[in-house]
Structure 1
Amino acid sequence: MELRHLVTFQKVASLLSFTRAAQELGYAQSSVTTQIRGLESSLGVELFDRLGGRIRLTPAGERLLEYAEQILTLVEAARADVAGGDGPSGTLVIGTMESITSYRMPPLLEFFHHRYPKVQLALRPSLCAETRHALRQGGFDIGFLLEQETRHPGLETVVLAEEPLVLVAAPGHPLAGRRELSPVDLAAVSVLAAEAGCAYRDLFEAELRTVRGGAPFLEFGTIEAIKKGVASGLGISLLPVVTVAAELEKGEMTALPWDAPFSVYTQLAWRGGRRLSRELRLFIDQAKRLMREDAPLHAPA
């Protein structure tokens, strides 16, 4: 059993694709197939069920994957230690989203930048469903979710905080200054939102659908673009409080008297059952310390 064969097996098992594994490893597909067959021959078992154009792990393959990940983690640790590394190093690929990257993560990013400069944090913008899929397939090491559900099949999660939401408008908007609002009131105005797939946007849209019908939301690419649209009077928007706290304090926006009948939670997730490297454990521990709900809303000045 050769180490390179285990590397290839782990990649195929995480992606469930010989073609994609070959592309990521820089091999010809025939080489990947040969390595897997050689590994199967040496162990005397089949590691993958081949179902037409798709593959899946056999029970023997699932057992080997657990050992392969432990072996490769130990090899990585040994390489770093023998090479003279005296601290965490390497790259963590992190699925995240704008509201978390810009408003929740700065203390964490600052901590790693100053304390562990050899750990490279590669941030990948991703919607929650995409992040969950990438974690299960091995494309991301860890990911942030902002969702209503806090339990996800195949993943381990830590809830960092309930994320308060607020409905905002420009101070001169027709709904500003009202003491109470009904869904009918909200159905009559333009709503600015992130793209479909954003959890709180989808929940808000479902809430208004009974009185709003199929009227589309005005989609903006970023939270910053949404905030500018709201401030200029284009419409209202439901956003995490942390993203508009500064604008509310300055009077550039106003909070409307409507409480969302649902809650969403900032979560940290990784693939269940995987052996965590010291870098990944460190990231999880520090995220819990710096991003839990008792942490400040804003990064320290």
Structure 2
Amino acid sequence: MEVRQLKTFMSIVKLGNFSQAAQHLGYTQSTVTTHIQLLEKELSTVLFERFGHQLMLTADGERLYDYAERITKLAEDAKNELDHFDVPRGPLLIGMPESLCVYYLTDLLKEYASLYPDVELKLKFGISSDFRFLLRKNMMDLAFFLEKNLHDADLVGKFLWPEPVALITAPGHVLAKRGWVDVKDLKGQTLIFTESGSSYRAVLEAALAKAAVHPRTVLEICQLQTIKQFVMSGIGLTVLPLAVVKEELAAGSLVALSWQGPDLTMNAYLVYHKEKWLSQAIRAFMKLIQERLLK
């Protein structure tokens, strides 16, 4: 029985299936399957059973999970106790919106990797709701949030900066000629959004729902560059942080509308779980954020 097999087992339980566990751990699905098969062979039992599409623990699987939590925690404590505390090392998984990574953190991440080559730095792009789940399951170390406010009792959030967000379109769009634009002007328009769950998208969608305004079409696109290309071609409007469209606004290929609706500005936070042990790798990253971005 190996600790990595137990970690694979715990990841499957937390995430609900083999494929997501494989993606999270950076394994192939066949490797994850092999880990479970080896555990079941060694323990002479079955750990999971399927009911339709639902994966469930057997009674023996539930008993093993309690032991797995204690064993992996002891292994981590032993490593932390015996390791050199003054040298950042080991895995560090950070979640962040694509916009923050590309437009704020690229140089900082490059510097961190150069300063601390023994840290196994991994990045995961996504949204705050996904990161909350992973932080609470102790499957992510740090995450950057873009939200109005942070009120989670079990999370610690360091405020970083306010992030202006604007309604963006092509200069030839009919609304670009308006002195100002409010919610009712979006009736019958095509809106191009990032993935569902984005905080600034949620603010605009709530305003549309409250005013009973219905766009003609809503397109959901995960890639920021594709969204900008669609908007520049005149397909519709989008809502994005100004940092994402800084170059296009300066070049005149996109314009920010004079928005009279609810404030879209978000705040950037660096977040971790309140019970998270802050390793030297985590502390070094937080220190670099403080020195480079919060001067």
Shared topology, TM-score over 0.5?
yes
Q: State the secondary structure of the residue aligned to 2:175.
A: coil
Residues 158-181 of structure 1: per-residue CA shift (max 9 Å, x gap): 121121101111111111132111
Q: Does the 8 Å CA contact 2:95/2:142 hold for their aligned counterparts?
A: yes
Q: State the secondary structure of the residue aligned to 1:211.
A: coil
Deviation at 1:229, TM superposition (A): 0.9
Instruction: Give RMSD over aligned pairs.
Output: 3.9
Residues 198-256 of structure 1: per-residue CA shift (max 9 Å, x gap): 11112111111223237552112211111111111111111001101111111111111
Paired residue type of 2:271: A
Taking a change above 3 Å as real, the CA distance of residues 186 and 214 of structure 1, as seen in their structure-2 partners, is: closer
Q: For 1:100-249, what aligned pairs fall within 5 Å after superposition?
A: 100-209=100-209, 210-213=211-214, 216-249=217-250
Aligned length: 270
Q: For 1:1-301, what aligned pairs fall within 5 Å after superposition?
A: 8=6, 12=10, 23=32, 26=35, 28-30=38-40, 69=73, 72-76=76-80, 78-79=82-83, 81=84, 87-209=87-209, 210-213=211-214, 216-259=217-260, 260-292=262-294
Q: Matches of 1:115 and 1:248 in 2, distance apart? A: 35
Deviation at 1:127, TM superposition (A): 2.0
Q: Does the 8 Å CA contact 1:144/1:266 hold for their aligned counterparts?
A: yes
Q: Identity rate of aligned residues, in percent? A: 26
Q: Does the 8 Å CA contact 1:14/1:138 hold for their aligned counterparts?
A: no
Paired residue type of 1:95: G
Q: Matches of 1:113 and 1:139 in 2, distance apart? A: 21
Structure 1 gaps, min length 5 = 35-49, 295-301
Q: Matches of 2:10 and 2:286 in 1, distance apart? A: 26
Q: Does the 8 Å CA contact 1:15/1:137 hold for their aligned counterparts?
A: no
Paired residue type of 1:257: S
Deviation at 1:264, TM superposition (A): 1.7
Structure 2 gaps, min length 5 = 22-30, 45-56
Q: Matches of 1:55 and 1:289 in 2, distance apart? A: 45
Taking a change above 3 Å as real, the CA distance of residues 86 and 145 of structure 1, as seen in their structure-2 partners, is: closer
Q: Matches of 1:221 and 1:19 in 2, distance apart? A: 24
